[in-house]
A = this chain, B = another copy of it.
């Protein structure tokens, strides 16, 4: 028997988990216990503080419903989700355009549209155009790539948050042409507050954070043999572009609309040009594709909304 103290407890716990047959589970739990214990030691956590933590995590779990995933929101607001995305990018054989958060508003079964069509309904806001190409890392076009888009309206609301959530709005998917070109019309989205009526909202207020996400447009871009890309474009002029509450913004995903852009297919509309670069897929990534069989990431979306 080992005398348990603040140092030995970690090894004693790891020893008890050492017969875990799944080697990856063993590795993850070993790593988790070491870092969890290191956190408690460094913070010199008291029983009262520990109990506050227990109550908070319990409240987060109990705020989850089939339509709300408060633990994903917690992960988002602690920067963990964004970190998981950057690790995912780094593991890939070829990265291309950076990953950004899928967020809780993805839905399967969005309507297919023709290139140049609008995904918006009357009243959604001021029209803009988004166009560009889908290319590989050498800049070579990827013909017939699929590109799916979803976003909030000019008041910061997704269709799922409005009147009749069964009606899809501001979402759709397109096939790029044989030269990898895509173009579509939509409206300028507005940034919005993350849901602040649960325990994560209490945390955000206690930390004096504003709780806003800057205006953005989500994309899911894919083609056979390519790594499926979950990303978002952000609008430069948003007040919260440098302080996204969920850390989704990165430099290379910030765009702006240009008026009178002669290369836009709709030069009269404010236009965003963005070329999506898809890396090659590993075998594992290939099998996890949304188009074929919904990937884990997309399952996240379903869990989280």
**A72 interface residue per 8 A CB criterion:** yes
Residues of B within 8 A of A29 (CB): 207
**A12 interface residue per 8 A CB criterion:** yes
A85–B296 alpha-carbon span in the complex (Å):
39
B58, B209, B251: the one contacting A3 at CB < 8 Å is B251
Indicate whether A86 sits within 8 Å of B48 (C-beta atoms), given known contacts A16-B243, A35-B42, A57-B57: no
- Dominant SS among interface residues on chain A: helix
Distance in angstroms from A248 CB to nearest chain B CB is: 8
A40 and B206: CB pair below 8 A?
Answer: no
Q: Which of A198-251 contact B (CB under 8 A)?
A: 206-209, 241-243, 245, 247, 249-251
Residues of B within 8 A of A41 (CB): 83, 87
A118–B129 alpha-carbon span in the complex (Å):
83
**A115 interface residue per 8 A CB criterion:** no
A75–B243 alpha-carbon span in the complex (Å):
33
**A64 interface residue per 8 A CB criterion:** yes
B250 and A20: CB pair below 8 A?
Answer: no
**A290 interface residue per 8 A CB criterion:** no
Residues of B within 8 A of A57 (CB): 57, 60-61, 71
A54 and B38: CB pair below 8 A?
Answer: no
**A107 interface residue per 8 A CB criterion:** no
B86 and A9: CB pair below 8 A?
Answer: yes
Distance in angstroms from A110 CB to nearest chain B CB is: 21
Report the count of interface residues on A (CB-CB < 8 A). Answer: 87
The segment from A119-127, A142-150, A297-305 found at the interface with B is A297-305
A243–B243 alpha-carbon span in the complex (Å):
48
B42, B71, B84: the one contacting A45 at CB < 8 Å is B84
**A25 interface residue per 8 A CB criterion:** yes
Indicate whether A48 sits within 8 Å of B296 (C-beta atoms), given known contacts A35-B36, A37-B80, A80-B36: yes
Residues of B within 8 A of A16 (CB): 207, 209, 243, 245, 247
Distance in angstroms from A247 CB to nearest chain B CB is: 6
Residues of B within 8 A of A39 (CB): 31-32, 35-36
Residues of B within 8 A of A23 (CB): none
A49–B48 alpha-carbon span in the complex (Å):
31
A303 and B51: CB pair below 8 A?
Answer: yes
**A163 interface residue per 8 A CB criterion:** no
Name, among A5, A60, A61, A251, the residue most crowded by chain B CB atoms within 10 Å (CB to CB): A61
- Which 7 residue pairs of A and B lie closest in terms of their CB atoms, listed nearest first? A61-B61, A13-B79, A35-B39, A48-B296, A4-B250, A6-B86, A31-B43
Q: List 9 A-B contacts (CB under 8 A).
A: A1-B254, A2-B251, A3-B252, A9-B83, A22-B206, A28-B45, A41-B87, A44-B91, A62-B64
